[in-house]
Amino acid sequence: MKEKVQNSSEASRRRRIQRVAGVMAISCMFLALALAPCMAVVWAYVEHLAPLRLPAALLTDLSIVDRVGGFMLSLLVVGVAIWGLASLAQLFARFRRGDIFDLRNATLLRRFALSVLLLPPANLLTEGLSTAWLSRDAPPGEGMIALSLSSNDLLFGVIGVLLLTIAWVLHEATAISEENKLIV
């Protein structure tokens, strides 16, 4: 009787993992596909939105060239985020199929962790290049390069290291699981 309850509980946990993983796989892929078009909309209406991390003085009277250039520079950050979200979507899809302890999962989690770690430097670089781009026509001495680092960037770094460590642990757990399969 105890074994039957345990199997029922295990099946319930697996269904819950599969259900959540299925929703997350779709959500992450949708976000990955939507990021670039959303960034294009942001640059189309940037002066009407809250400042991106750029000085408000640079966001007035923007030409099409300014907007396209800003969008193109933003693709650095967007590309890193898309890479991370696509990796995460693949990881959740594997969880949905029931693949839990697998080396491919550890690799996908590592990719996501690296994307989280790379987002703050990519943001910093994009911000610097964007301010230089938008102030390129300023009179001598009035051009600018603005850089900012926030507590969110630091938090992303900590979370990235945590996820990278979990990916290493998953890799080790998978290796142990494979060894145990060979012993039995």
- What is the DSSP annotation of 5-25? HHHHHHHHHHHHHHHHHHHHH
Domain range holding 177?
Answer: 2-183
- The single-letter DSSP state of residue 142 is -
Does the pTM of the predicted model rise above 0.95?
no
What's the rounded Cα separation, in Å, for the pair 157 and 163?
10
Q: Where are the beta strands (DSSP E) in 9-143?
A: none
State how many domains the chain has: 1
- Give per-residue pLDDT as tens, 6-51: 678 888 999 999 999 999 999 999 999 999 999 999 999 888 876 5
| 147 and 130 Cβ atoms separated by less than 8 Å | no
pLDDT one-digit tens code per residue, 128-172: 999 999 888 878 887 788 888 889 999 999 999 999 999 999 999
Question: How open is the CA angle 101-103-104, to the nearest 5 degrees?
Answer: 105
